[in-house]
Structure 1
Amino acid sequence: MSLDFGLKDVHVLITGAAGGIGLEAVRTFRQLGARVTAHYNSSNGELANVEGIVTIQADVRDETSVNTLLSEAAQQNGGPVSCLVVNHGIWPSNNTPIVDMELSQWQNTMAVDLNGPFLLVKAYLKALRAASQSSRDVVSNSVIFVGSTAGKFGEANHGDYSAAKSALMYGLTVTLKNEIVSIAPQGRVNTISPGWVATPMAMETLKDKAFVERALATTPLQKVATPADIARQLAVIASPTLSGHVNGQNIMVDGVGYTTGKDI
């Protein structure tokens, strides 16, 4: 049996695509034949070296910028976005408990990690609602959030990040999977939630060997994930062939399987 992901010529928009998981996802979806629009915030970085994609800058905190991102993606890449991968995010590296956290930090993290996904999904659904009936009926219509183990178990000194991710994983995902079908009858909404991944955002923290040992203490696979580990799962859940009946799920991709929930 040949393995066909059913993603050939599907328009996939990936946010936060300039590095880490996003960049690897761009490469993975391109290999599967998708038409990829890659979003970046300030610098397109290595995206300049990836052939056959459309790159668009946008500030996910700004509604006008997000609306323009979706409309330009449709204009430049052959029609409305079918699969939206909400991958972008920030993780403030300063270890700050809630009692000492500045409101400005909390608000900025929420603006990027929670308001941004809200604005993106809103623009995506509006564009899909305005599209032709044939575009609304395709089986590849889906939204995929990138969550985090921090959203499930919490993360001491990073309550802003864990709260935002939890909202995506347990609030937006299950709500939107009920709403999307009124616009796209076969539309799906799921979340892929990694643990620690060797991305540029996490590299400085992962240099601490003692920290990594604690992080892996309850991880049977005893390894930090690579961006490719996560990108492949994004492709699997996006695939209408492999995951067409998977909906409203938060899929942990953390190498654990079972955990005590003890904060690392």
Structure 2
Amino acid sequence: MFDLSGKRAIVTGSTRGIGRAVAEALIAQGARVVISSEDVVDTARVAAELKMPGLACDVADDIAQKSLVDFTLDTLGGIDILVCNAGITGKPGPFADADMDDYARVMAINLRSQVVLCNLALPHIAASGGGAAVLMASLSSLRGNGRINTYALAKAGVAQLARNLAVEWGPQGVRVNAISPGFIATELSQPLLDDAAFMARRMAMTPLRRPGTVAEVAGAAVFLASPAGAFVTGHNLVVDGGTLITDGS
């Protein structure tokens, strides 16, 4: 039920962290994956390591995103799976102190880019007989947050985008879902992993009492992209060890 043999995929932000884990998991199930990030050198290196095609793409650039889709069509012959993973956190702090230029960039990369890429790719997924898109949201979008407000706001929009697109594209056999990871151990989260006070507080709020792994988020993406998730669409799958549902006791 998780076999993806012959499927053709794009994964943005796939040179490290969750994005790379998703790409590796799709490949392990038989998919061919176009590797992509904004960094030309990183993209080439990871594409070579995974023995897959790669193209650098700044998702804030609409023309670059069209080039990514065109490259995938030329290289793989079609698109069956789209994973919109690229994103940035932006500057921390309350909305009262928001830098509106930073706000615009966070919104452009985390939300607008996913709208644009879905508009470019979903018609080709439909033309291939149907498939799946997985949009990366966040646990932060499901709770109040005093530090990464713009990021959380953008990610809430991503979850709604998945619902809207699921309604729009479902009749053409295209499923669209979101994933909301909680606290995941990555290179970017290492400073928090090293902060004993933060970890004690956060793990007390997490029933499984540990951070998640990138492989666990990737497993959710494989489920949503594969026949195992064939009747799931418009859903926001929370992968957080139970943080969302606990009262901290």
TM more than 0.5? yes
- SS, match of residue 204 in structure 2: coil
Identify unmatched segments of 5+ residues in structure 1.
none
Find 2:119's aligned residue among 97, 119, 122.
122
**Offset at 1:44?**
1.9
Corresponding position: 1:202 with 2:189:
yes
**Residue 244 in structure 1 maps to residue 230 in structure 2:** yes
SS in 2 for 1:105: helix
Q: Is the 8 A contact 2:35 2:47 kept in 1?
A: no
Residue 260 of structure 1 and its aligned partner are, at CA, apart by 4.9
Whole-angstrom CA distance in 1 between matches of 2:107 and 2:201: 28
Query: Which of 10, 28, 36 is equivalent to 1:13?
Result: 10
**2:84 paired residue number:** 86
Matches within 5 A, 1:35-184: 35-42=32-39, 43-44=41-42, 47-77=46-76, 79-92=77-90, 94-128=91-125, 131=127, 135=128, 137-138=129-130, 141-169=131-159, 171-182=160-171
Distance 1:127 1:172 in 2: 18
Report whether the alignment pairs 1:256 with 2:233.
Answer: no
Q: Offset at 1:258?
A: 5.4
Partners of 1:31 and 1:191 in 2: CA distance: 21
Shift of 1:215: 1.4
Q: Matched residue pairs, number?
A: 246
The separation in 1 between residues aligned to 2:125 and 2:220, in whole angstroms, is 24
2:59 counterpart SS class? coil
**What amino acid sits opposite 1:26 in the alignment?**
A
Q: 1:157 is matched by which residue type in structure 2?
A: R
Q: Is the 8 Å Cα contact of residues 218 and 259 (structure 1) preserved in structure 2?
A: no
- Contact 2:107 2:150 (C-alpha < 8 Å) held by counterparts: yes
Query: Is contact 1:21-1:231 (8 Å) kept?
Result: yes
- Please state how far the C-alpha of 1:259 moved relative to its aligned partner: 2.6
**Higher helix proportion:** 2
Percent identity at matched positions? 28
- Using the alignment, how far apart are the partners of 1:257 and 1:248 within structure 2? 22
Q: CA deviation at 1:119?
A: 1.0
In structure 2, what is the Cα distance between the partners aligned to 1:259 and 1:32?
31
Superposed CA deviations along residues 164-210 of structure 1, whole A, max 9, x for unmatched, are 000111x201110011135xx22101111110111122222332111
After the TM superposition, which of the residue ranges 38-47 and 58-67 deviates more from structure 2? 38-47
2:217 to 219, 230, 233: 230
Paired residue type of 1:222 = R
- Distance in 1 separating the partners of 2:191 and 2:209: 19
1:50 is paired with a residue of what secondary structure? helix
Q: Partner of 1:26 in structure 2?
A: 23
Alpha carbons of structure 1 residues 261 and 100: separation in structure 2 relative to 1, 3 Å = farther
AA at the equivalent of 1:99: A
Structure 1 outlier segments of 4+, above 4 Å:
none
Contact 2:125 / 2:174 at 8 angstroms: preserved in 1? Answer: no
Preserved CA contact (<8 Å) 1:13 1:83: yes
- Tell me the TM-score normalised to structure 2 length: 0.92
Distance in 1 of aligned mates of 2:118 and 2:144: 25
Pick closer, same or farther for the CA change 1:48–1:186 going to 2, 3 Å.
Answer: closer
CA RMSD in angstroms comes to 1.8
**1:102–1:223 CA distance, 2 compared to 1 (3 A):** same
How far 1:13 moved relative to its partner?
0.8
